[in-house]
Every structure is written in C-alpha cells, then in structure tokens.
C-alpha cells in the first residue's frame, strides 16, 4: 500500500498545514506541492488559518528574552537569500510596488486615462498601451514613490501610488460596489484652492478592481477623490466624495 | 464621508503588511527593524510555543531559538508565498513540535491529559486587544465545527500531535482524522474570512 492516490495526497493539505505529518510522507507531500499549484494554494490558506490559532494564544514573553535575543542577533551572522529566490527589492516600498506592478501593467493594457493629455487619440492602441505601461512603470519605480490607501465610504479600498517628483500618480481600487448603468465613479484631483479637475472615469474590471488611472500635473496640496456621478461623468463633483486621499506632501 | 486615510497594503491583504516590510529590512541586517519585528512577534511566538510545549523554561528556550532563526533566515522570507506573520508562526510551530516529539519529551508526555489540555480558555496572558479579538473569533469559529473536527484540529495544532497520534487519542481511523482536519481547517478558514 505504498501508492498514494492523488485524492489521498490532496487530503494531506490539512495535516501538512498543522505539522501533523512526519518523515517520508511529509517529504513526499512537499514534493507534490511543487507540482500541484492548487494544493500549494490550499496549504497557504490553511497555514494562514493556523496563524489565527497562534494569535489567539498570544502570551507575554518572559522578561529578559528581548535583551537576550537582540544580543544574540548582534553576534549572529545572517544567511544569504536562498539561491532560487528572486532578486529582493531595494526599498521596502518597492515590495508593494512590485506586487502592484504586474496587475497594474496588465490592466494598463486595457485602458488608462491620462489627466491633461488623453493618450491614444493619434496612435495605435498598442503604442498607447506601451506608452502607458512605461509611464506606470516610471511611477512605480520612481525614487520616493509612496503608496496611500484608504477604505471608501461604500466599502472596498482606494490606493494611489504617487511619484511626487514626477508630479504623477496611479490610482486603483478594489472591492468598490458596481454602480447601476446610470451611474459611474469619477476620479478627481482636488486642488487646495477648492477647485476640482476630473481625472477620468473608473471602470471596474472583472475581479472587482478598477482599471488603473494615470494622472499627471500634481501640485503641492493636491488630494485625490472619488465621487459617484451620472453616467458619462460631470464637469465638477456633484456628490460627496466616497474617499479622499492626500497625495502631495 | 471618506474613511480616514492610512498607509496600508494596496492588495488589501490585512494588517500584517508592515511586518512584511520590516522583515525585508531585517534581511539586510537592520537591527532596529529586527527590534520592531521582535516586538510584534515575540508575544505570538512565545504564546504558541508555550501552548504546545507547556513547560515555561523549555518554551522560553524554543522561543529564543525561533526568534533568532527569524533574524538569521529573514532573507529566505518570500512575501509572495506567505505573510510574514504566517512565515514566523510556521517556524515557531515546527520548532515547538520538534521539541515535544523528541524522544525524551515523548517519554514525559502525559497523553491522557491531552484532550483536556488543549482548550483555549484564558489560561494565557494576552496583552493585546487583538489577541483577545483573535481568541474570540477562533473560539466562535471552533464552535461551528463538528466535535471530531474541532478535537482533531486543536490536538494537532495546540497539542503538537501527529495525525497518527490524534487518531489514537480519539480512537478513530487514520483516514478519518486526515479528512476531518482538512474539512475543519477549511471551515475555520471560511469562518474567519482568511484570504490566501
């Protein structure tokens, strides 16, 4: 009975996530995980679940442990990254930018709105997409790029990556409820003098994220806001913003 | 009215993202970042190990090893594969399990008291509101499990038992324990709204 059927193997996700399996069976399952993305995905979810069990029994660590651990760290050499690891981002924020980069770039192939100049009027769609991708990449990779995020009043979250030096930003969101066909989300650049400049309409892509919007011409004190407007958008906001983010320092 | 603004994960994946960022700094030898990581992780790490190992002196030893391992291996942390908190808890749980399954510990373990010992009632010192909330959520979700699912999951995780040992303790078939643990965990995952 040495042959484990696939179903049997798959059922090991739970015991693997709880470290309730040892030895050869564990090794075999670990090997299986490298070839079974759905198993690996399930294990990840179950390990995150196990983490909640761990957090539920949080306890105050003994006095003196901190000094000891920090002291030991001071004299302990760290291991290099594993050989197969991808190159690490150079800055902590780059971690998030990297996570954002692929979905953003992919989504940008679909459409992007540019404040000031609307790209794509004179060029082929592909050229437009490439340019927009480059612009998004430039923002994501700009030194000092920041991420600002907030919940919206209707649920979901809005996120802006701001490259202050470039006076540009990329706006995206996830989990905002779909609007009826008579309504639309509109993005605004809110100037410190109280004026509002439309930065385009948001379209919700499959998966509940909005297609990233690229906006340029940022000025100090600018904020970004989203309102719900009649289909087609309006020249100025007619409703209270569901979220406002400070983007310029 | 707009919700208050804050720096948070663009993917919306929970409150642990700053820990992910700190670990990236730790990987580059940033000791100040490690101190911040310690402050975030020491309670959960020690609490979990204490739950599994039980003996305070041994628990402290294992916790020290785990926290130092987090320093040593920070460069191996891959945020694409797990949150930093989960990465750390996996290390902590494995070390705790190694300790209790080692031969000498095995001899001293009182299997008969195992089932009673794994309730998560407040016999630990929780010093954070979040821990209380987590505990409440876990307790509430555990109640949605069948008896055998709940016992299997808690014996395996908090008790540090292998599923073979769990089968022996509960006197049910090995395959049953395996599937009950998976079913129970999936139900917990869905109940607690864990996104993977």
In a domain, A184, yes or no: yes
Question: Shortest CB distance from B71 goes to which of A56, A78, A175?
Answer: A78
3 state SS of B44: helix
pLDDT in tens, A140-170: 666 677 777 888 889 888 888 787 776 778 8
At residue B196, the pLDDT reads: 63
Residues A103, A206 within the same domain: yes
In a domain, A86, yes or no: no
Domains of chain B (ranges, CATH numbers): 15-109 (1.10.1740.10), 110-196 (1.10.10.10)
Mean pLDDT, to the nearest integer, of A24-50? 91
Residues A118, A238 within the same domain: yes
Residues A162, A68 within the same domain: no
Partner-chain contact A52 B188, CB within 8 Å: yes
Give the Cβ contact number of residue B139 at 10 Å.
14
3 state SS of B161: coil
Average pLDDT over all residues of chain A: 77
Q: pLDDT: is A22 or B144 the higher one?
A: B144
State how far Cα A160 lies from the chain centre. Answer: 10
Question: Shortest CB distance from A20 goes to which of B21, B75, B162?
Answer: B162
CA distance A33 to A20: 16
**Most B CBs within 10 Å, among A42, A56, A157, to test the B interface:** A56
Band of residue B16 on the pLDDT scale cut at 50, 70, 90: low
Residues A65, A113 within the same domain: no
Which of A39, A74, A109 is the last residue in one of the domains?
Answer: A74
Q: pLDDT: is B9 or B23 the higher one?
A: B23
Q: pLDDT: is A135 or A67 the higher one?
A: A67
Is the pLDDT at A67 greater than 90? The verdict is yes
Lowest mean pLDDT among A52-66, B75-89, B95-109: B95-109
The model carries a pTM of: 0.57
% pLDDT > 70, chain B = 76
At residue A104, the pLDDT reads: 61
Partner-chain contact A54 B8, CB within 8 Å: no
Partner-chain contact B24 A92, CB within 8 Å: yes
Domain with A44, as residue range(s), is 6-74
Partner-chain contact B43 A58, CB within 8 Å: yes
Residues A56, A174 within the same domain: no
- The alpha-carbon gap from A124 to the nearest alpha carbon of chain B, in Å, equals 31
Kindly list the residues from chain A whose CB atom is less than 8 angstroms away from the CB atom of residue B80. Answer: 99
Q: pLDDT: is B119 or B102 the higher one?
A: B102
**Most A CBs within 10 Å, among B32, B61, B182, to test the A interface:** B182
In a domain, A19, yes or no: yes
At residue A209, the pLDDT reads: 73
Is the pLDDT at A189 greater than 70? The verdict is yes
Give the tokens for residue A98. Answer: 């990297």
In a domain, A68, yes or no: yes
**Most A CBs within 10 Å, among B49, B140, B181, B191, to test the A interface:** B181
Count structural domains, chain A: 2
Cα separations in angstroms, A204 against A10, A185, B16: 35, 9, 27
Residues A162, A229 within the same domain: yes
Partner-chain contact B64 A20, CB within 8 Å: no
Question: Shortest CB distance from A69 goes to which of B48, B68, B89?
Answer: B68
Helix axes B84-101, B17-27, angle to 10 degrees: 70
At residue A10, the pLDDT reads: 82
CA distance A236 to A225: 12
Residues A138, A239 within the same domain: yes
Question: Shortest CB distance from A13 goes to which of B56, B74, B182?
Answer: B182
- Helix H or strand E segment including A215: strand A213-216
Is the pLDDT at A186 greater than 80? The verdict is yes
What separation, in Å, do the N-terminal and C-terminal C-alpha atoms of chain A show? 66
B74: closest CA among B42, B29, B44?
B29
| Range among A129-133, B3-7, B36-40 rated most confident | B36-40
Residues A139, A170 within the same domain: yes
Chain B CA closest to residue A56: B135
Mean pLDDT, to the nearest integer, of A91-100? 59
Band of residue A81 on the pLDDT scale cut at 50, 70, 90: confident
At residue A11, the pLDDT reads: 86
CA distance B34 to B70: 9
Is the pLDDT at A122 greater than 50? The verdict is no
Partner-chain contact B74 A78, CB within 8 Å: yes
Which of A74, A109, A131 is the last residue in one of the domains?
Answer: A74
In this structure, what CATH number is given to the domain that contains residue A57? 1.10.10.1320
Kindly list the residues from chain A whose CB atom is less than 8 angstroms away from the CB atom of residue B67. Answer: 65, 69
Residues A70, A113 within the same domain: no
Residue bearing tokens 């460069």? B75
Mean pLDDT, to the nearest integer, of B100-112? 60
Partner-chain contact B21 A93, CB within 8 Å: yes
Band of residue B3 on the pLDDT scale cut at 50, 70, 90: very low
Residues A55, A138 within the same domain: no
Is the pLDDT at A240 greater than 80? The verdict is yes
Question: Shortest CB distance from A68 goes to which of B64, B74, B131?
Answer: B64
Is the pLDDT at B109 greater than 50? The verdict is yes
In a domain, A82, yes or no: no
Chain A CA closest to residue B118: A57
Is the pLDDT at B14 greater than 50? The verdict is no
At residue B125, the pLDDT reads: 36
Partner-chain contact B10 A68, CB within 8 Å: no
Residues A214, A184 within the same domain: yes
Give the tokens for residue B111. Answer: 């299997």
Residues A101, A222 within the same domain: yes
Which of A19, A39, A74 is the last residue in one of the domains?
Answer: A74
Mean pLDDT, to the nearest integer, of A15-39? 90
Question: Shortest CB distance from A153 goes to which of B2, B71, B185?
Answer: B2
């Amino acid at each position: 009975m040495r042959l484990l059927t696939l179903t049997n193997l798959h059922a090991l996700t739970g015991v693997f996530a709880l470290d309730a399996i040892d030895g050869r069976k564990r090794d075999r399952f670990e090997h299986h995980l490298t070839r079974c993305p759905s198993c690996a995905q399930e294990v990840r979810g179950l390990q995150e679940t196990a983490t909640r069990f761990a957090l539920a029994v949080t306890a105050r660590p003994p006095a003196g442990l901190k000094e000891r651990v920090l002291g030991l760290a001071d004299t302990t050499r760290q291991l290099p990254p594993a050989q197969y690891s991808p190159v690490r981002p150079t800055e902590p924020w780059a971690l998030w930018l990297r996570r954002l980069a692929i979905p953003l770039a992919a989504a940008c192939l679909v459409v992007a709105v540019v404040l000031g100049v609307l790209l794509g009027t004179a060029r082929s769609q592909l050229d437009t997409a490439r340019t927009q991708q480059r612009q998004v990449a430039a923002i994501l990779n700009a030194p000092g790029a920041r991420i600002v995020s907030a919940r919206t009043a209707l649920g979901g979250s809005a996120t802006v990556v701001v490259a202050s030096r470039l006076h540009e930003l990329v706006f995206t969101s996830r989990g905002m409820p779909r609007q009826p066909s008579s309504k639309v989300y509109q993005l605004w650049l809110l100037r410190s003098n109280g004026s509002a400049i439309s930065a385009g309409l948001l379209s919700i892509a499959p998966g509940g994220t909005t297609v990233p919007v690229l906006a340029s011409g940022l000025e100090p004190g600018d904020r970004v806001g989203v309102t719900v407007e009649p289909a087609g958008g309006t020249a100025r906001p007619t409703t209270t913003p569901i979220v406002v983010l400070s983007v310029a320092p | 009215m707009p919700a208050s603004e804050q720096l948070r994960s663009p993917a919306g994946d929970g409150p642990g993202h700053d820990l992910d960022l700190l670990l990236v700094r730790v990987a580059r030898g940033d000791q100040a970042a490690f101190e911040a990581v310690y402050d975030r992780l020491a309670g959960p790490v020690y609490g979990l190990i204490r739950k599994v190992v039980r003996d305070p002196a041994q628990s402290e030893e294992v916790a020290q090893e785990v926290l130092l391992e987090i320093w040593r291996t920070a460069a191996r942390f891959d945020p694409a594969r797990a949150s930093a908190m989960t990465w750390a808890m996996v290390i902590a749980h494995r070390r705790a399990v190694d300790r209790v399954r080692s031969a000498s510990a095995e001899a001293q373990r009182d299997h008969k008291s195992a089932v009673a010992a794994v309730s998560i009632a407040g016999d630990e010192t929780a010093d954070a509101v979040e821990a209380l909330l987590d505990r409440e959520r876990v307790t509430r979700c555990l109640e949605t499990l069948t008896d055998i699912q709940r016992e299997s999951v808690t014996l395996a995780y908090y008790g540090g038992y292998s599923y073979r040992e769990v089968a022996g303790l509960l006197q049910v078939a090995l395959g049953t324990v395996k599937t009950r643990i998976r079913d129970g965990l999936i139900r917990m995952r869905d109940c607690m709204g864990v996104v993977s």
